[in-house]
Amino acid sequence: AQTVTQSQPEMSVQEAETVTLSCTYDTSESDYYLFWYKQPPSRQMILVIRQEAYKQQNATENRFSVNFQKAAKSFSLKISDSQLGDAAMYFCAYRSATWGSGDKLTFGTGTRLAVRP
């Protein structure tokens, strides 16, 4: 079974600065997807960024980028130019690419990010 570990329960960043959230995972599969979701106080889980394991290039979405290290099974999220609206819980998630099991996400416990003005 796959597991996802987020070792930082809480993080804090100064507005306009850069912060990196850590995520490691354990799997025996070679093909899979990784995701970062954001959960603001509204409680809705919002997809921030995704990475396909077969792609070596790190995914980027505006101020959000990942550092995907497949051999190390590491998938960190970097937020550049942090904004007050970035304050939220961030969840790392794994999904197998195997048909039939590909619907299910395995989540980490989350990292609460605070942004200081």
Structure tokens at 61: 């979405």
Regarding 73 and contact with another protein (CB under 8 A), the answer is: no
Q: Are 35 and 10 a contacting pair, CB within 8 Å?
A: no
Nearest-approach distance from CB 117 to another protein, in angstroms = 26
Q: Which of residues 25-44 bind another protein (CB under 8 A)?
A: 33, 35, 37, 42-44
Task: Tell the smallest beta-carbon distance from residue 55 to another protein (Å).
Answer: 12
Residue type at position 59: A
Q: Is 54 exposed, middle or buried (0-12, 13-18, 19+ CB in 10 A)?
A: exposed
Q: In the complex, what is the shortest distance from the CB of residue 22 to another protein, in angstroms, rounded to a whole number?
A: 15
Q: Is 47 in the site for another protein (CB under 8 A)?
A: yes
Asked if residue 11 binds another protein (CB under 8 A), the reply is: no
46 binds another protein per the rule CB under 8 A: yes
Q: Pick from 6, 44, 27, 49: which is nearest to 95 by CA? A: 27
Residue 99 or 117 having the CB closest to another protein: 99
| Dihedral angle, C-alpha 13, 106, 57, 86, nearest 10 ° | -20
Binding site for another protein (CB under 8 A): 4, 9, 33, 35, 37, 42-47, 50, 52, 91, 97, 99, 102-110
